[in-house]
Amino acid sequence: MGKYFGTDGFRGEANVVLTVEHAYQIGRFIGWYYGKRENKKCTVCIGKDTRRSSYMYEYSLAAGLTASGADANLLHVTTTPSVAYVTKTEDFDCGIMISASHNPYYDNGIKLINSKGEKMDEETILKIEDYIDGKIEPIPYAKGEEIGCTVDYAAGRNRYVGYLISLATRSYKGMKVGLDCANGSAWMIAKNVFDALGAKTYVINNNPDGVNINTNCGSTHIEGLCQFVKENQLDIGFAFDGDSDRCLAVDENGNVVDGDLILYICGRYMKEIGELSNNTVVTTVMSNFGLYKAFDEAGIEYEKTAVGDKYVYENMSNNGHKIGGEQSGHIIFSKYATTGDGILTAIKLMEVVLEKKMSLAKLASPVKIYPQVLINVKVKDKKAVKEDEQVKAAIKAVEEELGDSGRILVRESGTEPLIRVMVEAKEADICELLTRKVVDTIKSRGYEA
């Protein structure tokens, strides 16, 4: 990770960590860099989520791009995966998504996407950071007819919607589907897709006001959708996050079907129909023991990466795997997308339900999930926590107590000033007790922010 950009872009509190000046500088560098490298006018597409500050960053990025001679094509409010899709299929030099994903409204972020629809390479990111820090000589302004244009490109977003609809294998007629749009990027797109496919849609949290994105809703607060599905006797429900690159599901009984269960259901189905390349599903180290036991019973192999859909995709791309993802709901179907796509994930789950003629609860039932407790500690210095000898000793003591019956994972957040402490064991009270031991040690050492 660089100085400004983490595993999922440049993210932080709007105009505190990530300022309009940063956005302008990023636009200036990208417009100049790609134009110079390709020896032509640079073209960039920009999408944003529903945060109030997203509009501010959109205009600042567009100003920087056009001042360097690039054209800024505005997709307006849309999803992160739609920006990746449009960038790749319509030959843009770069794509930019303005979003802090599942973070609260007062945070925001800038995600950079290369011409292949993938996350920007580290070399280019470091050059952008050098420019922000004044380590690169001033970039000349475009003049006269070389000044770039700002273009309304809502048509690109509409083509993405058409692409999603084209991926469905059956009509959804007769299916009662709940959608929690998190007051974010999916608020129009998800309903349009499911309506077009014939579902009877029941939508909640689709009234964004600039400050209610992810607030007690969406994939990070799925309890509302669980209750909604039960009360309305729906067949299935899907919850997205702020930029709709995540999806968690709810079965007909109101139970959560998380990313691990989605990987199992879709991975097993892909194996049955001969589409599971290398007979392998890519997971992260956060995936549950129960998932791996179920994969073993189904004869499916798996790989584990560091946490982050960036690392999942790298593994898939390097090894030719077709499905991978995270417990949090970032699911990548590499045949159809280069990034996690919440609405695509919902479509693929619907395919399994309809083709197998089985309920979501039945499809998920072979996986027996081990209890997990995850506690996030906001800290002043993530690196200092990981290097502290007393914290290390507390972690080792928990590892010894768990033995082969569970595990502990302590890691830094790639996007926030957090240390995440997770314990997995056969009993929930043991998870809670052992997680607290490490968290209390971190706090007693004075690292809590």
Q: Is residue 243 part of an annotated ligand binding site?
A: yes
**Would you give the end-to-end CA distance of the chain in angstroms?**
22
Give the DSSP letter string of 276-306. Answer: -GGGEEEEETTS-HHHHHHHHHHT-EEEEE-
Name the active-site residue from 68, 101, 185, 328.
101
**313, 297, 327, 346: which is closest to 199 by C-alpha?**
346
Q: Is residue 277 part of an annotated ligand binding site?
A: no
**Rounded Cα distance, 207 and 183, in Å:** 6
Query: Does the active-site annotation cover 405?
Result: no
**Rounded Cα distance, 249 and 262, in Å:** 8
**Rounded Cα distance, 59 and 74, in Å:** 10
| b (16+ CB within 10 A) / e for 227-254 | ebbbeeebbbbbbbbbbbbbbbbbbbeb
Cβ-based burial of 364 (10 A; exposed 0-12, middle 13-18, buried ≥19):
buried
DSSP β-bridge partners for residue 237: 178, 250
Contact (Cβ atoms closer than 8 angstroms) between residue 398 and residue 423: yes
Cβ-based burial of 150 (10 A; exposed 0-12, middle 13-18, buried ≥19):
middle
Tokens of 132: 């922000």
**108, 131, 129: which is closest to 120 by C-alpha?**
129
Sheet of strand 107-114: strand arrangement: 5-6, 9-13, 107-114, 94-98, 43-48, 71-77, 150-152
Give Rg (Cα) of the chain.
22
| DSSP H helices in 98-198 | 122-132, 154-166, 186-196
**Rounded Cα distance, 328 and 373, in Å:** 14
**Rounded Cα distance, 132 and 86, in Å:** 27
Contacts of 448 by beta carbon, 8 Å cutoff, 6+ apart: 377, 378, 379, 380, 442
Give the DSSP letter string of 190-221. Answer: HHHHHHHTT-EEEEES----SS-TTTT-GGGS
Q: Which residues are annotated as a binding site?
A: 101, 241, 243, 245
Q: Which residues are annotated as a binding site for Mg(2+)?
A: 101, 241, 243, 245
Residues classed as catalytic: 101
